[in-house]
Structure 1
Amino acid sequence: MSPADPGGRNGNGALIALFLDMMAAERGASVNTLDAYRRDLLDVASRLGTGGRRLENAATPDLESVLAGFAADGLAASTAARRLSAIKRFYRFLLSDGVRDDNPATPLRAPKQGRSLPKILSEADVDALFDAAAGQPGANGVRTRALMELLYAGGLRVTELVSLPLGAFVRAERCIQITGKGGRERLVPLTEAALDAVAAYKAVRETHLPSEKGKAGKASRFLFPSRTAKGGHLTRERFAQVLGELTLAAGLDPDKVSPHVLRHAFATHLLARGADLRSVQMLLGHADVSTTQIYTHVLDERLKSLVQSAHPLARRADDGDAG
Structure 2
Amino acid sequence: MEKKTRFPSPTLKASVPWNVGKMVGAKRALKEKHVWAIRFWLGSEQRVRDRALFDLALDSKLRGCDLVSLRIGDIVTSGQVRHRAMVVQQKTRRPVQFEITETTRESVRAWLEHRGGGLNEYVFPSRLSAKAHLSTRQYARLLDQWVQAVGLIPGEYGTHSLRRTKVAMIYKRTGNIRAVQILLGHTKLDSTVRYLGVDVEDALALSEATDL
SS class of match (1:234): coil
The match for 2:5 is none
1:289 to 178, 182, 189: 189
* Gap regions ≥5 residues in structure 2: 1-14, 20-24
TM-score by length of 1: 0.52
2:13 corresponds to 1:126: no
Would you say how many aligned residue pairs link Structure 1 and Structure 2?
Answer: 186
Matched, 1:238 2:138: yes
In the TM superposition, residue 130 of structure 1 has moved relative to its aligned partner by 2.1
Q: 2:110 aligns with which of 178, 200, 205?
A: 200
Shift of 1:73: 6.3
The reply to whether residue 145 of structure 1 matches residue 51 of structure 2 is yes
Query: Aligned partners of 1:306 and 1:161: how far apart in 2?
Result: 36
Alignment of 1:85-96 (within 5 A): none
C-alpha separation between the residues in 1 aligned to 2:127 and 2:34?
31
The 5 A counterparts of 1:3-14 are: none
Partner of 1:168: 74
Alignment of 1:61-140 (within 5 A): 74=17, 119-137=28-46
Aligned to 1:303: 206
Change (3 A) 1:300 1:131: farther
Rg comparison, structure with higher value = 1
Structure 1 residues 230 and 203: CA distance shift in structure 2, 3 A: closer
Counterpart amino acid of residue 143 in structure 2: L
Which runs of structure 2 are paired with 1:206-217 in the superposition (5 Å)?
206=116
Q: Secondary structure at the match of 1:187?
A: strand
Structure 1 Cα separation of the partners of residues 203 and 32 of structure 2: 17
Supply the AA of the counterpart residue of 2:155: D
Residue 176 (structure 2) aligned to one of 248, 273, 276: 276
Q: Which residue of 139, 146, 157 maps to 2:63?
A: 157
| Greater per-residue helix proportion | 1
Contact 1:272–1:302 (CA<8 Å) still a contact in 2? no
Q: Kindly tell me: are residues 224 and 246 of structure 1, through their superposed partners in 2, closer, same or farther at Cα, counting changes over 3 Å?
A: same
More relative contact order, 1 or 2 (CA 8 Å, 6+ apart)? 2
Residue 278 of structure 1: CA displacement?
Answer: 1.6
Verify the 8 A CA contact 2:73 2:120 in the aligned structure 1: no
Whether the 8 Å CA contact 2:62–2:163 is kept in 1: the answer is: yes
C-alpha separation in 1, matches of 2:75 and 2:101:
13
Whether the 8 Å contact between 2:126 and 2:134 is mirrored in structure 1 is: yes
- Tell me which moved more, 288-297 or 145-154: 288-297
Counterpart Cα distance in 1 of 2:133 and 2:158? 19
- How far the C-alpha of 1:170 sits from its partner, in A, is 6.5
For residues 197 and 299 of structure 1, do their structure 2 counterparts lie closer, same or farther at Cα, with a shift above 3 Å needed? farther
Specify which of 172, 179, 200 is matched with residue 88 of structure 2: 179
1:178 positional shift: 1.7
After TM superposition, give the deviation of residue 177 of structure 1 in Å.
1.5
Shift of 1:182: 2.6
Query: Cα 1:302–1:131, aligned 2, differ >3 Å: closer, same or farther?
Result: farther
SS in 2 for 1:203: helix
Q: Secondary structure at the match of 1:183?
A: coil
Specify the SS of the correspondent of 2:174.
coil
- Return the offset for 1:251: 1.4
Query: Identity of paired residues, percent?
Result: 27
Normalised to the residue count of structure 2, the TM-score between the two structures is: 0.76
Between 1:246-255 and 1:229-238, the stretch displaced more is 229-238
Q: SS of the residue aligned with 1:176? A: strand
Instruction: Provide, for residues 80-112 of structure 1, a one-character-per-residue CA deviation record: whole Å limited to 9, x for no partner.
Output: xxxxxxxxxxxxxxxxxxxxxxxxxxxxxxxxx
